[in-house]
């Protein structure tokens, strides 16, 4: 019988994930620090690519170099929060589905949703990028002379959560293919999340609308950093409302929920041809 899920229970589950994360870190601190450092270097490198262009040319389109830095700080914070809560393939969900590992979750006395929410929490190894992102945001904020108020901070948190919802929903939407084609679609979440990340660091200002609009709708990379950053700087792009990212996140989350549930129903009736009794995949 499944446990009763309360806030206290969720905090306890997060604590278990944090403890496992700390155990991994302490198992071999040298390797763990290398892994954390490598992750930070990689994310800063991806973000700095566009900043170096902005610095060289004194800005990109209608954004100054400091505004681009602000946008990249936002992007780095997103990768930081992602690593903080998504270190257990719980956001790269196609891997769990494709490898037949959903079975492992089914036998736990916890609802699937609760397990997925809490299983990727990695505060000790996943928090580095968030710290770097916050530092970059403070630097950019000072250079831009931003007037920081509690309302602004609340807006920042809301936009960060909205962006995360969009990322997770898109990953789950795409990952639903793994219910039907587990081998071929095992890495489709990576394609949806990681392969597009460089594109999400592009400032879209100055580009034709034929490029901007698809990147705010079909492939929402413009919503990963560019659009929310401009809203936080008080310059909503394309004369659209500052609430557009929230609306988009809601719609894609609903679509993902419907598609994922349908896939899950298919999975529980057919099972996975990759699952073997000792838990490894074919």
> What gap in Å lies between CA 240 and CA 238, rounded to an integer?
5
Complex with another protein: residue 41 or 148, whichever CB lies closer: 41
Q: What whole-number distance in Å separates Cα of residue 254 and Cα of residue 246?
A: 12
Q: Which stretch binds another protein (CB under 8 A): 16-24, 102-110, 140-148, 176-184?
A: 176-184
- Computed on alpha carbons and rounded to an integer, the radius of gyration of the chain in Å comes to 20
Q: How far is CA 169 from the centre of its chain?
A: 10
- Main-chain dihedrals φ then ψ at residue 275, nearest 5 degrees: -80, 130
Q: Is 206 in the site for another protein (CB under 8 A)?
A: yes
Separation of alpha carbons 96 and 103, rounded Å: 9
Contact 20, 120 (CB under 8 A): no
End-to-end CA distance of the chain: 30
Of 42 and 108, CB closest to another protein: 42
Query: With contact defined as beta carbons under 8 Å apart, do 84 and 121 qualify?
Result: yes
Stretch that binds another protein, among 75-83, 127-135, 159-167, 182-190 (CB under 8 A): 182-190
Q: For residue 139, with 0-12 CB atoms within 10 Å meaning exposed, 13-18 middle and 19 or more buried, which class applies?
A: middle
Stretch that binds another protein, among 3-11, 53-61, 152-160, 233-241 (CB under 8 A): 53-61
Q: Which is nearer to another protein, 31 or 268 (CB)?
A: 31
Nearest Cα neighbor of 248 from 193, 171, 166, 173 is 166
63 in helix, strand or coil? strand
Interface map 211-250 toward another protein (x if CB under 8 A)? x---x---x-------------------------------
Is 46 a binding residue for another protein by CB under 8 A? The answer is: yes
Asked if residue 276 binds another protein (CB under 8 A), the reply is: no
CB of 197 to another protein, least distance (A): 10
Stretch that binds another protein, among 58-66, 129-137, 155-163, 233-241 (CB under 8 A): 58-66
User: Closer to another protein at the Cβ: 1 or 210?
Assistant: 210
Is residue 127 involved in binding another protein (CB under 8 A)?
no
CB 200 within 8 A of CB 75: yes
**Can residue 42 be called a binding residue for another protein (CB under 8 A)?**
yes
Q: How far is the CB of 140 from another protein (least distance, A)?
A: 17
Partners of 154 in beta bridges: none
Q: Which of 181, 240, 258, 276 binds another protein (CB under 8 A)?
A: 181
Contact between 204 and another protein per CB under 8 A? yes
Give the separation between CA 235 and CA 225, rounded to whole angstroms.
Answer: 13
Binding site for another protein (CB under 8 A): 31, 34-35, 38-39, 41-42, 44-46, 48-49, 52-53, 55-61, 181, 183-185, 188, 191, 195-196, 198-199, 202-208, 211, 215, 219
């Amino acid at each position: 019988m499944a446990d009763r899920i309360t806030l206290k229970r969720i905090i306890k589950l997060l604590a278990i994930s944090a403890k496992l994360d700390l155990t991994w870190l302490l198992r071999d601190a040298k390797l763990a620090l290398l892994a954390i450092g490598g992750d930070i270097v990689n994310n800063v490198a991806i973000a700095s690519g566009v900043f170096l262009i902005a610095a060289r040319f004194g800005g990109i389109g209608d954004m100054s170099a400091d505004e681009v830095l602000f946008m990249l700080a936002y992007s780095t914070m997103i990768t930081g929060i992602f690593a903080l809560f998504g270190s257990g393939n719980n956001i790269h969900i196609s891997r769990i589905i494709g490898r037949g590992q959903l079975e492992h979750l089914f036998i736990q006395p916890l609802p699937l949703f609760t397990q997925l929410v809490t299983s990727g929490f990695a505060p000790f190894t996943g928090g580095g990028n968030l710290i770097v992102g916050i530092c970059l945001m403070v630097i950019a904020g000072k250079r831009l002379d931003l007037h920081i108020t509690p309302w602004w901070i609340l807006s920042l948190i809301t936009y960060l959560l909205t962006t995360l919802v969009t990322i997770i929903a898109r990953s789950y939407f795409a990952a639903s293919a793994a219910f039907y084609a587990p081998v071929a679609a095992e890495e489709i979440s990576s394609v949806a999340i990681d392969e597009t990340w460089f594109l999400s660091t592009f400032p879209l200002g100055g580009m034709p609308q034929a490029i901007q609009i698809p990147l705010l709708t079909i492939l929402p990379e413009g919503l990963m950093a560019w659009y929310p950053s401009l809203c936080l700087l008080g310059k909503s792009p394309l004369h659209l409302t500052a609430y557009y990212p929230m609306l988009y996140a809601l719609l894609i989350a609903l679509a993902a929920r419907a598609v994922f549930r349908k896939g899950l129903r298919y999975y529980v009736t057919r099972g996975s041809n990759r699952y073997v009794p000792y838990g490894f995949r074919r």
